[in-house]
Structure 1
Amino acid sequence: MNTNKKIALLTIRLLLGFIFFFQGFGKLFKFGVDNVYNNFFAKTYEGILPDFLLYGTAYYTSYIEFLGGLLLIIGLKRDYTLYALASVLIIVTFGHGLVEPIWDLSHVMFRAILLLTLLLLPKEWDYYRLDTLLKKK
């Protein structure tokens, strides 16, 4: 197989993985999910969505970003990880659109393009990952 294809997919996966990983890391360990909820979710969506949904979403997106990013970096359970991260992007898109129908798409589009690229290109090209190593054994 062409080494360029393998390196290209590794690069895409690592970029996306690090973006999500550090986003989640910041929410979990720098700000704290309760602060993320209070300063971003509750203030922005107060009166629009119920608190239990906002609280659950703050935790869900924070942990999925962190764990999903980590799994992408090491290349474990790649497709399931991409599905979970896609759900985060859909939630973020819905949330931003709910508050402001015309919003800065840079929050989502770059990550969505990388994620969709990984889903659409042949999985065999994404060779340098833990899944490949475990499959050989």
Structure 2
Amino acid sequence: MNNHREIAYALLRVTMGVVFLFYGVGKFMGGVGNFAGGMNQRFSGKLPSALVTPFAYALPFAEVILGALLVVGLFNTIALVLVGLELLALTFGTVMLGDPPTVAHNAQYALINFVLLWLADYNGYSIDRLRRGKPTVSSP
């Protein structure tokens, strides 16, 4: 069996999931309220607090949940679409802050997310595949 593409996909998917999972866990460890307060300070005068505050409170939960889903490969396509939307929102914010290095960093994550969505047929090592009972993709 030639499954190197599925192994490569799983490694990239799990790595992306771990990054998001632990970014979210870090926000919980520092306190979600503290994180939200810091976000409000950073965006003061750039975006209204009415937009920043709910996003800042939701972000740690989204990162932990989406990261965990990617790690185990559950609801993979939905999780990747939501990660893409999260990255879009984060990139918008960093553009508003005038932070080119972070914009570039987010663009790299967005590219990885694109690759994972594009190659989702190789998501063989996942709970999704087990739930559907589908055989793994045959590689040439």
Does TM, scored on the shorter chain, surpass 0.5? yes
Residue 131 of structure 1 aligns with which residue?
Answer: 128
Residue 9 of structure 1 aligns with which residue?
Answer: 9
Identity %, equivalent residues:
30
Q: Which amino acid aligns with 1:87?
A: L
Aligned counterparts of 2:24 and 2:99: Cα–Cα separation in 1: 25
Q: Which amino acid aligns with 1:9?
A: Y
Q: Which amino acid aligns with 1:31?
A: G
Contact residue 75 and residue 128 of structure 1 kept, 8 A: yes
Residue 71 of structure 1 aligns with which residue?
Answer: 69
Residue 33 (structure 2) pairs with residue 34 (structure 1): yes
Aligned counterparts of 1:99 and 1:66: Cα–Cα separation in 2: 24
SS in 2 for 1:108: helix
> Alignment partner for residue 47 of structure 1, among 45, 48, 54?
45
Aligned counterparts of 1:7 and 1:88: Cα–Cα separation in 2: 26
Contact residue 97 and residue 103 of structure 1 kept, 8 A: no
Alignment coverage as a number of residue pairs: 134
Q: Residues 83-105 of structure 1: CA distance to partner in whole angstroms, max 9, x if unpaired?
A: 11111111111001011063433
Q: Residues 36-59 of structure 1: CA distance to partner in whole angstroms, max 9, x if unpaired?
A: 1112x1111112222121111112
Residue 97 of structure 2 aligns with which residue?
Answer: 99
Quote how far apart the aligned CAs of 1:11 are.
Answer: 0.5
Residue 19 of structure 2 aligns with which residue?
Answer: 19
Quote how far apart the aligned CAs of 1:32 are.
Answer: 1.5
Contact residue 91 and residue 107 of structure 2 kept, 8 A: no
Aligned counterparts of 2:6 and 2:96: Cα–Cα separation in 1: 39
TM-score (norm 2): 0.88
RMSD value, Cα = 1.7
Quote how far apart the aligned CAs of 1:62 are.
Answer: 1.6
Quote how far apart the aligned CAs of 1:106 are.
Answer: 4.6
TM-score (norm 1): 0.89
Unaligned runs of 5+ in 1: none
